Structure 1
Amino acid sequence: MNIATREVSGIRELLDHNPVVGAARAGAKRFWTGREEKLLRAHYSAGGVTACLAALPGRTASSIYQRAAVLGLRVPGANGKVNERQAWSSSDAIDAIIRRAYQKTPTKNDVQACAATCGRPRWWVSKRAAKLGLVTPRFKQAPWCAAELDLIGDNAHKAPATLRRLLKSKGFDRTETAIIVKLKRLGADRTDPHHLNANQLAGVMGVDRKTVAAWIAKGWLKATRREVTTTDDFWWIHRRDIRRFIVDNVAAIDLRKVEKFWFVDLLAERAGEKREAAE
């Protein structure tokens, strides 16, 4: 069926089909230019959307129809008068038809058939179904409960994949993205009091990450692997192993570059552990 036939069949069917001449515009090209609006004004009143499709390659029927509404353009009817756009209304009978169609998850063809039965555009039927509460909003998750917040708050330093498994073991289902966003909104401290990753250790030791990786490869520094995330590297190093490395490899460390407050705190922990062991 060609474009002209669809225009004769009515604007509703034309917009549902939404044809376009050439490739649809994208990126910066999607914005309307003064030249395009001039062509739209010149052709719309005479031939409607169909005439504008040929004059405006790359513009879809719906984009032309919507821009014409913004500019206040109208197409004269058979009597030569310009009529206002159709203001679609609903009724109990139409709502009942929509409810029957949405008893199961409808396909695009099901919604199209429902629109034909109601005598309404497909977009209007979809919008009406959402207003009636028949469509579940996409990507809408249930509110976080106190138990979930406590769990991720106490384990904020762990990787999102680990947090997701912890939540799932307690009967909660959250995506890793949802967990990361929630932690950011809570302003949770994600630093582990007992571990550092390679990047963090390199920062306080005054070296680059490759140097830390070399210490690990040589067996001087004990480290374990963990889940790789977009923000952390996969090396996970316990503070006691860092202390052991420093004591055993003093010659490999430039104490002038070490962050002194962190260094003193690390050694103070060792002294405290020794006192506790003696007691």
Structure 2
Amino acid sequence: MQLQTRPPENLRALLELNPTHGEPKRGPRRFWTNREEKLLREHYPQGGVEPCLAHLPGRSAAAIYSHAAALALQAPATQKHDFRRQRWTSSDQIDAVIRRAYQRVPARGDIASLAFTVGRPRWWVTKRATQLGLVTPRFKEPAWTNAEREIVQRNFHRPPKIIRGMLKRAGYQRTETAIIVMGKRLGATRYDPLHLTATGLASLMGIDAKTVTGWIGRGLLKASRRGTGRTSAQGGDQFWIRVRDVRAFIIDNAAVVDLRKVDKFWFIDLVAHGPT
């Protein structure tokens, strides 16, 4: 392939065309000689691949580029520069602009816009606002009190949203994540001796959960929603069934119970003693 009179606009296009000036070198001639490497060292740092094509007949653009990389040669456009870290400074005018922006709570995108206005990075603007006392630093949550721990441990079987409301009514502010973490630290159990989910009841009776939800849908088994806040993609909110309603259902609908499948210890305790 002959060298084009009008070279491509960029290196990538040049390598895709992969032109060769003269007859390509094959066989033993494919190995680079000392003279060729000397020419490559002389011309590649000055202009890159393109000027080397005329000085290295038989070498393709890709071959020149690859061998230059092996020799750690760099073209002018890719040579490394001594980039020194930018030191950002402030002024009375910049501080005044930052103060005006922080007089109200910044909305999403306001800080980025402010950084563009003052010609500084976003991280620098936030740091400067903190130094000026405009941003309240975040502190760790206060230590848990014994009263809070007791509420969490006693009600850990309930959804975190419900427990959060109970804490709020008692005068405490905790996130749902903090409640879950504290419950696990306390070793609290999510088991509720007075309630069952539809899935839990189905497991104890050795049937499919859809059978239980079918009983609920037909009004045979009383149930309420648990209030978990699960989305439809997660299967929706769970059914919350009182154990005493399960006992009443079994007594009234004994024919649907397959004694071969039920958890016998749970079943005997339920029928003989009922919920505690």
Q: TM-score range by the shorter chain?
A: 0.5 to 0.7
Specify the alignment match of 2:225 in structure 1. 225
The CA distance in 2 between the partners of 1:233 and 1:148, in whole Å, is 26
- Answer yes or no: is the 8 Å Cα contact 2:199–2:209 preserved in 1: yes
Measure the CA separation in 2 of the matches of 1:43 and 1:127: 37
Work out whether residues 202 and 209 of structure 1, in 8 Å CA contact, stay in contact via their aligned partners in 2.
yes
Identical columns (%): 46
Q: Partners of 1:148 and 1:217 in 2: how far apart?
A: 38
Deviates more, 1:241-250 or 1:183-192: 183-192
Identify if the C-alpha distance between structure 1 residues 137 and 187 changes in structure 2 by more than 3 Å, giving closer, same or farther: farther
Shift of 1:241: 1.5
Structure holding more helix per residue: 1
Displacement of 1:176 after TM fit? 3.8
Q: Distance in 2 between matches of 1:185 and 1:92?
A: 50
CA separation of 1:122/1:208 partners in 2, compared to 1, >3 Å: closer, same or farther? closer
Q: TM-score, normalised by structure 2?
A: 0.54
In the other structure, the counterpart of 1:264 is 268
SS of equivalent to 1:142: coil
Partner of 2:255: 251
CA RMSD of aligned residues (A): 4.0
When structure 1 is superposed on structure 2, of 258-267 and 142-151 the one drifting more is 142-151
Matched pairs, number: 195
Q: Deviations over 1:106-162 (max 9, x none)?
A: 53243444x44xxx5443333454577754568x76245223332222111112332
Instruction: Give CA-to-partner distance per residue, 1:255-277, whole Å, 9 cap, x none.
Output: 1111122223323533x97xxxx
**For 1:236, what is the secondary structure of its paired residue?**
strand
SS of the residue corresponding to residue 229 of structure 1 reads coil
Residue correspondence of structure 1 range 90-169 to structure 2 within 5 A: 100=99, 104=103, 105=105, 107-108=110-111, 109-113=113-117, 115-116=118-119, 121-130=121-130, 134-136=134-136, 142-143=141-142, 145-146=144-145, 147-169=147-169
- One-letter identity of the residue aligned with 1:173: Q
8 A Cα contact 1:199 1:233, kept in partner: no
User: Which residue type is aligned with residue 148 of structure 2?
Assistant: E
* Unmatched runs of 5 consecutive residues or more in structure 2: 1-65
TM-score, length of structure 1 as denominator length: 0.54
| Cα separation, 2, equivalents of 1:142 and 1:43 | 55
Task: Confirm or deny: 8 A CA contact 1:157 1:191 kept in the other structure.
Answer: yes
Pick the aligned partner of 1:239 from 231, 236, 243.
243
The answer to whether the 8 Å contact 2:225/2:237 transfers is no
Match of 2:87 in 1: 88
- Give the secondary structure class of the aligned counterpart of 2:262: coil
Q: Deviation of residue 99 (structure 1)?
A: 8.0
Q: Provide the secondary structure at the position in 1 that maps to 2:265.
A: helix
Aligned partner of 1:172 in structure 2 is 172
The structure whose Rg is larger is 2
More displaced stretch, 259-268 vs 201-210: 259-268
Which residue in the other structure is 1:206 paired with?
A: 206
Mark the CA change 1:217 to 1:45 in structure 2 (over 3 Å): closer, same or farther.
closer
CA distance in 1 between partners of 2:178 and 2:200 (Å): 25
Do the aligned partners of residues 103 and 210 (structure 1) sit closer, same or farther apart at CA in structure 2, a change above 3 Å counting? closer
Measured in 2, the distance between the counterparts of 1:186 and 1:92 equals 52
- CA distance, structure 2, for counterparts of residue 44 and residue 130 of structure 1: 40
The 8 Å contact of residues 101 and 111 in structure 1, kept in 2 or not, is answered as no
User: In 2, Cα distance between the equivalents of 1:178 and 1:235?
Assistant: 25
> Partner letter of residue 245 of structure 2?
D
Q: Is the alpha carbon distance of 1:111 and 1:150 closer, same or farther for their aligned partners in structure 2, counting shifts above 3 Å?
A: farther
